[in-house]
Structure 1
Amino acid sequence: MALKRILSLALVICATSASSTAYAVQNDFADFKKKYQSKHKEYTDDYTQRYEVYKKELIEKWGVAELSSDTEYVTYSDDKSVKVIANFENDTIEVNIQRDDQQGQITPEEEEVMVRDAIMEALNVAPKAAAKQNVEFAFTPAKNPQTALTLKPKKLAKKVSSKQDTLLKHLGINDGKELKSALTMVEEVPAEKQQAIVVARTEKRLSQQITQVEQFVEREELPLKQKKRAQRKVAELNSQLNELNQRQDILTKKNIKSYKIQLKRDRFNKAEKYLSQVAMQANQWKVDQEVLLAIMETESHFNPMAKSHIPAYGLMQIVPSTAGADVNKKIFSINKNPTPELLFNGTKNIEYGSAYFNILLTRYLKEVENPTSRMYCAIAAYNTGIGNLARAFNNGERGRMKAINKINKMTPEQVFEVIKTKTHTETQRYLIKVVNSTNYFAEHI
C-alpha cells in the first residue's frame, strides 16, 4: 500500500510538473508572439511613415507621385529631379529631367550624356540593390530612427558590368555597346504631350489598382485584418484618383524634359533569362513550363521589381498572406508569411509561384476529373482565389465541393465559358491572357 501511495504521489508530481512545463512553454510562446506582432507593427508603421513622406515629396516636386507597379519600375534621383521609368510590358525606358529655368539651352551631346547617366544610375544595379535604394521597396526599417526617412545615396556606375545581374540586363541591355545602341533610339517627348501622358497613365494605373484591390477584398480566405487594410487602401486610391484632376495645372508649370527609348525586344527574349529556373521548378512541382511562363508574363511581364497595392510581390506576384502563407504552411511547414524581401528574390519567387500552382492543382482542385478543366480552374484561382472561383459555379454561393461537382458534369469548353462570363472582369481577362500566352510559349520553348 505504501508503494502504491508513493507511485501515485510520483505520478501526481510528474503530471503537475508536466502541466507546469506546458503552461510555461505556452506562456513563453504567447510572449514571443506578442513581441513578434509588436515588432512587426513597428516595422509596418516605420515603412508606412517613410512611404507617405516620400509620396508627399514627389507630389510637391512633380505634381503627381508616379510609383512602381506590377509592370513598371519607377525610381528617382536623390534630389528627385530625375525620374526613370522602366516599363516591362511596353518595353520602354523613360527619362524625365526637371531643369531650372536659369540652366539655359543644352546641346544634343549634353542631352545624350544626361539621359545615359540617368539610366545608368537608376538601372545599372542589381534588383536586390535597387530594392535597398528605393523607398518603395525598403521594407526593413532603419536602425537609427534619425535616419529612418533617408537612404544611402546611389553611386553612379561607370559601365554595365559583364558579371553583375542588373535591371538593365533584365531589360535586355547586357553591356555598354548595347546601351550605346539603345541610346541611338532616344526620342524627346514634347512637354504638353508628356503632361497628358502622365495624367492619363496615372489615372489608368490608379483605376487598375482599385479594381485589383476590390476584387482581392472579396476573397473568403483573406484574413480579416488584411481585408480591412485592403478596404482602407481602396478608399485611399479613390481619393488619389479624385485629386488627380486638381493637379493637372501643377504639371504644366514644371520645366520637364522627357525622353523615351523603345527597346523593341522580341516577346520570347523577355522570358529567356528565366527559362532554366522555370524548367527546374516545373519539374519539381509537376507543372508545365509554358503555364508558369504564361502566368509570369501575365502577372509582371518579367519585371523582377513587380509590386502591387494588394500587396503582391515579384515575378509571379505572390501575396504573402494568401499564396505565400499557403506555400509556407503546406510545403515548408512554416507558420508565418514570407517577407517581401524574400519574394523579390527571383529564384524564390518562381519557386513560391510554382509550388502554389501545384497546391491549386493537387489539393484545392484535385477532385476535378478533367485535366483541362482543372487547368482552367487553377489559372482562374491563381488570380481570384478558390472561394471566388467556387462562387462563379454556385451562382454566388460558397462551397468548393459543390462547385467541383458541377464542374465535373461540364466539358472543358463549358468550364471555360463559366469562368469567362461569371467571374470578375479582371479574372475573365486573366484566363484568356494566360491561355493565349501558354499556347505561345508552348510553340517557342
Structure 2
Amino acid sequence: MSNSVAKNTAVVAIVSILTFNTAFADDKFSDLDKAVAKQKQPHSEKVAEFHAYVNAYLDQYESWRDQYTKDLDIQRAQLIESWGEGEVSDKTKKVEYSQDGQTKTVIDYESNTMSVSLLIDENYNSDDIQKLTEKAPSSIDGQILDLKNVKAEEEKDLYSSSKEKIESQFIITQTQQQMNELDIQAERLINSNTGIPNSYIYERAYKKKMALILQSKERINAQSKIYKAMREKHGIPEEKITINEESTTIANVTTKKKSVKPSVTTDLSQIKEQQQIQKENVITSNTTDKSKELNLENIKPIAKPITTVETAKVPVSIPEKKPATIVNVPKETTKKIVNYKVKLPENSLKKRASQYKELAEKESKNWEIDAALVMAIMHSESAFRPDAKSHVPAFGLMQVVPSSAGHDVNKQMRNIDAPMNSADLYKPIINVETGTAYLHILNNRYLKSIKNSESRLYCVIAAYNTGAGNVAKAFNGNKSTNIKRASTVINEMSPNEVYEHLIKNLPYDETKNYLKKVNSRIDLYR
C-alpha cells in the first residue's frame, strides 16, 4: 500500500515538473515572440506608443487638477447664488462660512485685516442685526474679534455686473496661473533629457493651454448664467454695456455676445496673445528640431511614481476641513450683506515669520541661498501660513507645486523621478527644504550662466514663479526658452536694466507683480 502511494506520488511530481517546465518554456517563447514583434514594429508606431505613454504619465497630475477646478466651481456657484460672490480661501486669505450660511468670516493676511459679513433679509433693522453679531465668532484663527465698536457697511446690490466681472477675473487669473505651470512642466521635461523632441513637448503644452482657455470660456459662461438667473429672480434689470469693437472678438476663445464684460474680454485676449507666441515657439521648434528625431534607443525611461513619504502617483491633498454646507437662500427673499472689518495687530505677520526664521536659515546654509530671500518668498507666497493653498493648486509656506518644482527637486536632489505628495508639502520642514532646494536649482543650474549676482537674483525670483524658460523668453527676440542665449543678452545689461526689462517683458502680469513684491521684501529680513 505504501509502495503504491509512493509510486503515485512520484508520478504526480514528475508530471508536475514536466508541466511546469513546458509552461515555463511556453512563457519564454511567448516573451521571445513579443520581443521579436517589438523589434519589427514600425518606427512610427514606436513613436506613437511612446508619445501615448508620455501623455498618460503627464495626464495624471492634469486630470487631478481639472477635477480640483470642477469641485471649486461647484462650491463657488453655490456661494454666488446666495452671497453674490464666490469668495473662497486662497494662499493669503482664509474664508469660512457658518453652517446656516448666514455668516462669513475672512482673514486677509495680505491686507492684514479681519472681517465678518452677515447675509440677512433686506428689511432687518439694527436690533435684528445686533442679535446676529452676537452669534459671530469671538475669534478667528487665534485673533480676537470684537465688533461692538466697529462701524458696519451695508451692501444691497449682490448680483451687480461689477461683481460678475470680479468673479470672471478669478477664473481668468486661475487659468493664467495654470498655463504658467504648464510652461514650467514643459521646461522640466526638456531639462530632464529624456530624448523627447522639444517640438513635441512645446506642441503638447500649447494644446493643453488652448484646452484651458476653452475651459475658462465655458466656466465664465456658466457663471454668467447664474448671475443672469439671480438678477431675473430679484427683478434686477440687465445693464447695457458698450464694448469697443477692438475687444469684442477673440478668435475662437471668447463669446461674441454683447453681455461679455470688457475687462474679461481684454484679459482673455492677453491669454490668446500669449498662446500665439507659444504657437510660434511650436512652429519654430518643429523647423529647428528636426536634427533631434526621436531616437527610441537613447530614451531614458521615466520612472513610475514611487509611493513613499515624499512621493505619490497623483498629488493627493491632505484631508482638509470641507467648507460648510451652504444653505441656499430662498429666491423670493431680497437679501443684503452687512460687513464688519477690523485691522489685525501690526505684529501678527512678524509673529508668524519668527516661527520659521531658524528653519529658513538652516536651509539657506544647506543650499547656499540667502535666508532673506527665502523669508521674502514665504512672506509673498503664503504670509507664513503652512496650511496655505492656492488655486493652481500649490501648497504650503513656499507654495510648491507637486508636479513642477516638487518633481524637479525630487529628481535632481532626491533621485526620485516622481511628483511630490501634496500632503508632505503642508509640513514646514519638507516645504522649506523643497522650496529652498528649488531656488538652488534655479540659481546654480538653470541660471548659472548669468554672471552678475544681482541680475541673477532678479531672474531667480521671476523663475521661481514662472520658470527659467519664461525668463529666457523675456530676453530672446524669437521668444525662445533657451537660457544660454538669453544670458548673453542679460550679461550685457546692468542689474537695473535687467530688472526693468523683466518688469516690461515677462509673459505674465502675476510674475511681474511677484518680482516687485519679493524684491521689495528682502531687506525686511536682513
Same fold judged by TM-score > 0.5?
yes
Taking only the aligned residue pairs, the percentage that are identical comes to 30
Unaligned 5+ runs, structure 2: 1-24, 36-53, 189-200, 237-333
Partner of 1:209: 174
Are positions 1:235 and 2:235 aligned together?
Answer: no
Query: Is residue 116–residue 183 contact of structure 1 (8 Å, CA) maintained in 2?
Result: no
Cα shift at 1:346 = 3.4
The equivalent position to 2:340 in structure 1, one of 251, 259, 264, is 259
CA distance in 2 between counterparts of 1:338 and 1:39 reads 13
Moved more, 382-391 or 429-438: 429-438
- Residue 373 of structure 1, CA deviation: 1.8
Equivalence map 1:10-409=2 (5 Å): 50-99=71-120, 106=127, 110-116=131-137, 120=139, 123=140, 167-168=141-142, 173=143, 179=144, 182-183=146-147, 186-192=150-156, 202=167, 205-219=170-184, 220-221=186-187, 224=204, 227=209, 230-232=212-214, 234-236=216-218, 238-239=220-221, 246=228, 249=231, 253-266=334-347, 268-395=350-477, 396-409=479-492
Higher percent of residues as helix = 1
CA distance in structure 1 between the partners assigned to 2:469 and 2:58 by the alignment: 28
User: Which residue number corresponds to residue 429 of structure 1?
Assistant: 513
Q: Assess if the C-alpha contact under 8 Å between 2:385 and 2:397 holds in 1.
A: yes
CA distance in 2, matches of 1:426, 1:42: 24
Distance 2:211 2:85 in 1: 23
For residues 428 and 172 of structure 2, the distance between their equivalents in structure 1, rounded to whole angstroms, comes to 28
RMSD, matched Cα = 4.1
Secondary structure at 2:135's aligned position in 1? helix
Report the alpha carbon displacement of residue 207 of structure 1 after superposing the two structures with TM. Answer: 4.9
Using the size of structure 1 for normalisation, the TM-score is 0.67
CA contact (8 A) 2:84 2:163 kept: no
Inter-partner Cα distance in structure 1 for 2:66 and 2:175: 22
AA partner of residue 391 (structure 2): H
Give, as a single letter, the amino acid of the residue that structure 2 aligns with 1:259. Answer: Y
What are structure 1's unaligned runs of at least 5 residues? 1-12, 24-32, 124-166, 174-178
- Structure 2 vs 1, CA of residues 411 and 42 (structure 1 numbering), >3 Å: closer, same or farther? closer
TM-score normalised over the length of structure 2: 0.58
Deviation at 1:217, TM superposition (A): 4.7
What is the aligned partner in structure 2 of residue 162 from structure 1? none
State the shift of 1:49 in Å.
6.1
The alignment covers a number of residue pairs equal to 361
SS in 1 for 2:335: coil
1:65 is matched by which residue type in structure 2?
Answer: G
